[in-house]
Every structure is written in C-alpha cells, then in structure tokens.
Structure 1
Amino acid sequence: MTLSDQDFLGFDAGQFRDLLARGTLTITALISRTLQQIERHDKHGLNLNAIVSLAPESLLRERARLLDGELRAGRSRGPLHGIPVVLKDCIATGPELGMTTSAGSFALLEGKITKNAPLVDRLLASGAVIVGKSNLSELCSFKGEGLIDGYSPVGGQTISPYMSTCIELDEGDLSPSSPGGSSTGSAVSVSAGFSLIGIGTENCGSIVQPSSRQALYSLKLGRGIACAEGCWRASKTLDTIGAMARSARDLAAASEILLDLDAGSRLLEEGGYASFLTGSVEGLRIGFVDPTLWRLPLDFWNPTEEAKNQHVGIQVTFRRLFCVRLYGSKITYPLTIPQPSELNVGDDDAPFVVNLFESAETAKEFFEDYVDAELFIRSLKDMVDFNKCRLERCLPESAPDQSWLIKAIDEKPSPERYVATRNHMLRVGRDGLAKVFRDNDLDLVIAPMDSSACVLSTASGYPIANVPLGRYHLKGQLSRPFGLAVLAPSEQEGSIFRFMSAYEASFPARPVPERLVNGAVTL
C-alpha cells in the first residue's frame, strides 16, 4: 500500500492497527518502514540523534514474522500487537534483545544488564516490537550543572524535528529550541516516525516536558501504581514511568501495560483505561490556573515579550473555546494552587535533597543486575572515578560537570535532614494539592506545561499528563509545539483520559513535523 509522509507521521497506532486487522498492511512492512525512517533521519537527513541503540534487524524481522503469523491465525495480543516502541536508554533490556543500557554514560555502556526490567517483559507479552533505545539527558539529568536537555556523551545531542535551527539557549535552559528532557529521544522518536509509542521515566518533568515540545499525548503515572524497577534513576521516592503517544487511545493502551498487576486489577474496570475514552467531559469539574502567573522560572526560560503574549493569548483562547465546545463540565477560574517554593525547607531545594540522599542506593540496586567483567563499576564513586580518567569522552565540553554525583558521595545529606525535607515536601505537595481538589470540588487541574506544574506532581505523587495545545511562532522559522499540563488526584488517571479524549475529539489534530514531509512511500 502507499502511504503519504503526512499519514505515516500522523497516524496513531490505532489507525495502523486497523490496517493490520484488514490485511492491508503487515507488521513486517510497518517495521521495515520504521527502520527506513530511522536510517533516513536519525544519523543522516535531519540528524535528529534520537536513537542510542537499535535492535538487530534480524531479530526485529523474526519478531515481526511471528506476530504477523499470530494475526493470520486470528490471534491478537491486544492494542500494541505489532506496534513499534522505543524505550528510554535507562530502562534495562537483557542480552536477548541485543541492545545496550547506558543511561547515556560511557561508565555504563561497556557492561551488560542480565535481565529485562519488568515493564519490558510486559510490553513484549503485549506484542509490542521494541525497535530501539532512545537518547536522554545523561543519567536522567542527574549528573551535574549545565547539562543540556537531550544530551549524553554516548548519544550526543538529540534535536527536535519541529525546529529549523540548532539548539540556542540564549533565553535559558528551556529556550524555544530546547527539545526538553530527560526522556528526549523517546519523545522525538514518536514525533519523527521512529516509533509509535515512547516509554520514558520521570523525576520532575522528564516525560511531560519533552512530549509537550513534540506535540504528543503523555502521562506520568502516579506514585505507587507503576514499577520503575530495572531503570536507572536518581530516587526511588520520586522517579516513576510513563508513556508518550500520538493519541489518547494509544496512550491509554500503553499506560495500562505499565501498571503494576495489583494496581491494574484494583483500578481498572472491564475495558481498562479505554473505557474512559468517552469523548465527553460531562460532569467533570476542572480548574484552570492563571497563565500570567504560571510560567517557567526565568532561569529556565526568560521569554521575549512576543513569546509571553503568545503564551497567554493561546491559553486564554483555549479556555474560552473549551467552555463553548466542551460544555457540560464545571469550570473554576482562576484557580490558586501551591507554589513550588512552599515545598522547600529553608534554602534547600527539596527534590534535589531527596535525589542527593537516595541516588547512591538506587545506583547500588541497579548494579545488582549489571555485569562488568573488566571495569568493575559497582557504585556512583566508581562511575565518578571512571569519568575522571576519561575526561574527553565522559566529561566533554558539552557536559563537563559531575558535581551532583560527587555531592551524592561526599556531601550526602544527613538522615535527619533527608527525612525532614522529604516528609515536608511530600506533606505539602500531597496535602496542598488535595486541599485544592477538595475545597474547589475538582477532578482536574489545568496549567500551562511551560510552568512549574510538574514540580507539584513530583512532590505530591499525583499523575500529570500533557495534551498538545499549540505552537510558538518565534524567531522567524522557529515553531515549537507546547502543551497543557493536566493534574489529577492519586489513582484518578481515568479522569485525565476522559479529558484527553474529549479534547482530542473537539480540537484540531496534533501537527506533524513539516520538515519530515516529502511525499509518499509504499509499505
């Protein structure tokens, strides 16, 4: 069959699944076209640099043939059967999949992981085809000062297919051309046609921020319902997992697979998250914050007046259109929610203190399934020493600092300081947001994604999602997508999916990257 670039980049997994079910398309052909797209634009063409490790083609073709055979026999494993998926390269994959697990660090690249992370086994059981591992901000952004989003020594710099210039950080770390991080490569892979589903991890914004900049639907699942075991992470308390997709239904399917088995049986009714995709917000109670007050801190992005005006104008227009197109919901505006500064104890940045205290122990757990016959790396200290001995490769000009790793070893917070800071942050985050939802009788809180909303999700453990909203038209040809942050109470991801499906049905389709649209291809 012939498919235009516009459709290849715009179709969601559900649309490809319909083609597979009708026999119009085979999984083998879909995987072949996906590999062609990676070959054209990952290290060539637009040089997006989203993939760190590609699965061996022979293994991918063998799996595609197996899954095609199952479909011909009338057996489908579910909505991800035959669907290409990319994993963030901090998620462990065993030797049978033929890919590395480096977290973007040369200190980890030479070793071998002995087994898959549990989420990988669940994806494989669902029929997904894991085509590769994606680039990320090195060590999930917890290495040192000045690390650029989407950069790692192993993978280089990932860039956005939506942007027509190189990364310029003259307005701050999250200037318009930044792709966001740390799950950068997974987000870019979905928007660029390297996969249909991206899996990432998040401590604070690492899934929702890059997906906002790639016009994707994404969800960081709430604390305690999804297991990040087998993932490199800074904190067991704060880090969790989530998915990115081109549609609400794809995201629902992927998110359901990521749930712990006990959480899935407890939270999901028959039909799973898909049962919440009603296309209606009837009865939902939604609070909107004031977009003039909720922006990124100036040290992350100090926008021009033009950008400020676009930011506020688009948010205001959306809220008005929402009330017209998605009637039946109760709207509260403007909504006051806790400021991130309230989470801190004195001058301590609370999430940073938690990461400093927990990172050495989480690294130790990661190394339990890590085999390194020559370098004997078993701790953060081993990694720091490895980097010091290989400055050019491990501490290059683009990422010369590993001060956070050193602090986690030499200046680890005392247990008393850690407990006090952690408990204060969790209490203020959880109780503060719970009070907002309770006092205002709300199901959801909506804020600009270009704000500190993700910090509140980190502190409270509440789920946070991104919905693609619009694009900034700045600096001539720059046209960076941005989204809405959607927060819900603990274990209320279903309300987020209700909102997403109604939004998707009532507003324009997410834009595809124009620079990748050239013509038509035969599948």
Structure 2
Amino acid sequence: MEELLLTASATELQALLESGNLTSVQLVKACLNQIAKYDRLGPTLRAIVSTPPEEYIPSVAERLDKERAVGKVRGTLHGIPIIVKDSINTDPLLGMPTTLGSYAFEKSQPKGNSVVVQTVRDSVCRLSGLRNLIAWVTTSHPAGRRSMVRLNRRTSKVESSTERCISVTHPISIGTEADGSLVTPASRAALYGMKPTVGSTPMDGIFVISTTFDTVGAMAKSVDDLAILIGYVQEKGAGNNGASPDYRAVFQRDWSGLRLGFVDPDKWWLPSGLVKPVEEVHTQIKASYEAAMERIRSSGGEVIYPVELVHPKENGIGKAMDTIFDYEPRGVVAKYLETRDDPNMKSLEDIANFNIEHADLELPEDYPNQNAILDALHHKFKCTDYEAAKTTLQKEALENGVRRIMEENRLDAIIGPTDGPLASISAAIGGPIATMPAGVLNWHGRPFGLSVMTLPKHDGVLGSCLHFCSSKIQTFR
C-alpha cells in the first residue's frame, strides 16, 4: 500500500475503489499510516497540522463505502482523501483547527467551513488533514512543530516542506497561491500544480493577503486529477470564458497546431537572493528545457523561441506588485478574521502585537522579525498609489506585455522553467499558471519542472497545453 500511495493518482485509486480491490476505509488508514511514518516519525516532515479524530475517520470512510455499494457515488473523487492548506477554514465539527500555522489562532475557531471546503466535502471526497501554512505569517504549529522559517512572500514559496508530505501521503491537495506558492513547491516534489485565474474560485473563509493575486489552486499526481480538482474548486465557467470547468473534456481535442512560446531560461531564472546559483543545476535544467522544445516540435506542436516576454523587473511591474502586496493585507486580513470566533484577533495589528509579545514562539531564531506584516501596517501608500499600481499591471504586464506577445506570435501558452519568475508575471496579470514534472537534478536529487501560463480566463487552454506537453515530455514522478 505504501508504494501505491507514492505513485498512484486519485484517478487510479478511484478505479481500484470502483472495482472493489480497495475500500475507502483501507485507503484512509493507509494515508494516516503514511502521515505517522513520514510526518511524525522518520524524516519528520512536519507538514501536517492536524487530522480528524481517530474515531471519526473510519466511520466516515465506512459510510462512503456503503454509499458506493448501493450505487450512490458523489463524484469522480468519491472516497478519496484530500489534504487542505491550513489557511482554509474547516468547521470545528471536523475536529481540525484552522491555525494559520500560528499560536495566535491556537484557541480560536472558524465559524464554519470555507465555501471551497464545503463544496468539495459535499460533492466528492473526505478531508483527512490540514497542511501547514506555507506563506506569509511566520509561525510555529501550536504543538511546537515548526515548518515555516521565514516571513517573506518572495522566499517562503520555495521553502515549504508541505509538498513532500503530499507526495508521500495523499494523491491530491487544495492550497492557495499569490505568487508561486503552489507551482514552485509542486515542481520540487514531482507533482502537477495549478493556480487558476484570479477571481475564478470562491475565497470566503480563506486567509489570503491579496485579492489581486491570491486564488485557490491544487496539487496532484496527474494532469487528470488536477483538472478534476480545479473543476470542483472553481466557480462554473469563471476561468474558462463561461464554458464548463470540466477540463478533461477539453483535453480530448486535436492539438496538432499547438503554438507554444518558450522564454530564454538564461533570462528567466530565480535571482541569487532567492536561490544560490549552481552551474551544474542550471546546465541540466537548460538541457532538459531544450530537449522539451524538440520533443514538442517532433510531436506536431509549434515552438516559438525565444519569446521576449516582459519580465517582472521591467516597466515598473515589480514595484507595482510590491505596492499592492503592502497596501491590501490590512483590509483583506481584517475581512478574513470576521470568519473566526476570536475577540482577541480582529486586525493585522492584533497579529503583529501577538508576535511581539510571544517572540519566542512566533519569530524563529534564524529570521527574528515580521517585516512583511510591518510593511503592510506602516506603508505610506495612498489609495491613488494603489490604483496607479493596478493600472501599471493592467497596462504594462497584461496589455503591452503578455497579451501583446501572445497575439503577435499567435501563442496558446508560454512556457518557462518553474525555477524562475514566470509565476510572478502570471500573478501580475491575474492569469492561470501550472507546472509539470520535467526531471530530477543529478546534483542533489531534487525534482524540477516546467511552468505553463496563459491569459486570464483561458484556464482550459492552459490545461490542454499541460496535458499535451506532459504526454510528449518524459516527466518524472
């Protein structure tokens, strides 16, 4: 069973459930055993905050098995366990506190499930664990199991241990992303990951820091699983120009005329401030990148290389993003805190003060500050600055940037190394982005991936490109 969980997709597990070769009771117990083995003991990944009470889990799984036996199947993921990020509210009745990874919320509770959790729980599957929060608030888990080490929106996206726990314990996961916090960790665990168009998923009951950049997304072990899960978390038609969110149907079309633009990997690489440059790593990823282009060409796709895509450092885009990241959190966080029963935590100021008063718990020794929170509290930006920043992104990132280059080259999507800032330019335009496994580094065995992005509300096109490319490229999982 352990080997099965390491490699099997949710679709493959569903086939075993349908055939009677596996039950949901057996599956969820196996997932919990994996959590105990890898998260609590052994390598102690410390990525799972909580699971439902032991007495609760078998009864729910048994009920789902009984429903299946009489022909009542809730959906394509009926009986499949799922991991949910610890910034997404779950009802206290589920027995899994939503802590945001912080002692500040150890004793408080959400008023109920987030819209996304309620939709998924009612329609398709059962929840079996909360992932540790992987971005923004510097925290330790209330049980003292620290998994985040930095309060930095630019670096936390590549430092989470969460994706490793998903890869060994569960087939699918729901999370959030503003700028890379889904696709980057997914690529580093040989997983598929997707952030859909901003505004296409319900965000009620979810802790985020930005309405401009944040949305709900998913990680999975196959493209089909990713398509199914995105279809459930996304509001109908919101990310696909009004069409059905079932992207599996779109995957069946003929993609012989697919046109993909590839950025120059030498220009689209994570800065040395985030990742220490290693020539051997860069050489291998670039070789894999070039091989992927050749395989796509030989399979009937058209490759345009290099495409001169606007970079986040150009035309004031990065500065505009920083302005928005500083301006929005105060109001966004206050609105989220209204979804919780906690008289002591009503504002971003309350969180900052708690961190100061409990610095020994909240501020780790290797990064003993909360600069991102303080920047959001003490910035000098006015509403006019904020609106100007949004206008800059609309004009320079979207209209004069991504849309122009895609229309001039008649591109379906743009591809770049996931170990690069493609997620940032995608965030700047509010568009969808996904990642797929591309190989494993000889240097230290870490997987790496390719990211695919396109224009907002063209999520189905992106999913189709992802499916086409992954079927032509020798992906590693």
Aligned to 2:438: 469
Aligned to 1:482: 448
Distance of aligned partners of 1:312 and 1:245 in 2 relative to their CA distance in 1, 3 Å threshold: same
C-alpha distance in structure 1 between counterparts of 2:453 and 2:223, whole Å: 15
Find out whether 1:309 has 2:283 as its counterpart: yes
Distance of aligned partners of 1:340 and 1:116 in 2 relative to their CA distance in 1, 3 Å threshold: same
C-alpha distance in structure 2 between counterparts of 1:256 and 1:13, whole Å: 14
Find out whether 1:54 has 2:20 as its counterpart: no
Find out whether 1:340 has 2:340 as its counterpart: no
Deviation, structure 1 residue 418: 1.6
Deviation, structure 1 residue 24: 0.9
Structure possessing the higher relative contact order (Cα contacts under 8 Å, 6 or more residues apart): 1
Between the aligned residues of both structures, percent identity stands at 31
- 1:109-508 aligned at under 5 Å gives the runs 109-137=106-134, 140-141=135-136, 143=137, 152=140, 154=142, 156-158=145-147, 180-181=158-159, 184-185=161-162, 187-193=163-169, 195-261=170-236, 263=238, 267-269=242-244, 272-278=246-252, 281-324=255-298, 326-327=299-300, 329-342=301-314, 344=316, 349-372=319-342, 376-431=344-399, 432-474=401-443, 478-508=444-474
The alignment partner of 1:110 has SS state of: coil
Unaligned runs of 5+ in 2: none
C-alpha distance in structure 2 between counterparts of 1:152 and 1:343, whole Å: 38
Deviation, structure 1 residue 263: 2.4
The alignment partner of 2:442 has SS state of: strand
Deviation, structure 1 residue 75: 1.7
- Contact kept? 1:153, 1:399, Cα under 8 Å: no
TM-score by length of 2: 0.93
Find out whether 1:41 has 2:15 as its counterpart: no
The alignment partner of 2:354 has SS state of: helix
Deviation, structure 1 residue 82: 0.7
Name the amino acid aligned to 1:180.
V
- Contact kept? 2:108, 2:341, Cα under 8 Å: yes
Aligned to 1:170: none
Q: Deviations over 1:343-376 (max 9, x none)?
A: 527xx73222112111011111111111125xx1
Name the amino acid aligned to 2:262.
F
| Aligned residue-pair number | 471
CA RMSD of aligned residues (A): 2.2
- Contact kept? 1:279, 1:502, Cα under 8 Å: no
The alignment partner of 1:87 has SS state of: strand
C-alpha distance in structure 1 between counterparts of 2:85 and 2:106, whole Å: 14
Deviation, structure 1 residue 472: 1.2
Name the amino acid aligned to 1:354.
I
C-alpha distance in structure 2 between counterparts of 1:412 and 1:234, whole Å: 18
Aligned to 1:162: none
Q: Deviations over 1:237-270 (max 9, x none)?
A: 111110000000100000000111462796334x
The alignment partner of 1:230 has SS state of: coil
Distance of aligned partners of 1:278 and 1:30 in 2 relative to their CA distance in 1, 3 Å threshold: same
The alignment partner of 2:82 has SS state of: strand
Aligned to 2:101: 104
Unaligned runs of 5+ in 1: 160-166, 168-172, 512-523
- Contact kept? 2:82, 2:173, Cα under 8 Å: yes
- Contact kept? 2:182, 2:193, Cα under 8 Å: yes
Aligned to 2:19: 22
C-alpha distance in structure 2 between counterparts of 1:158 and 1:206, whole Å: 15
Name the amino acid aligned to 2:273.
D
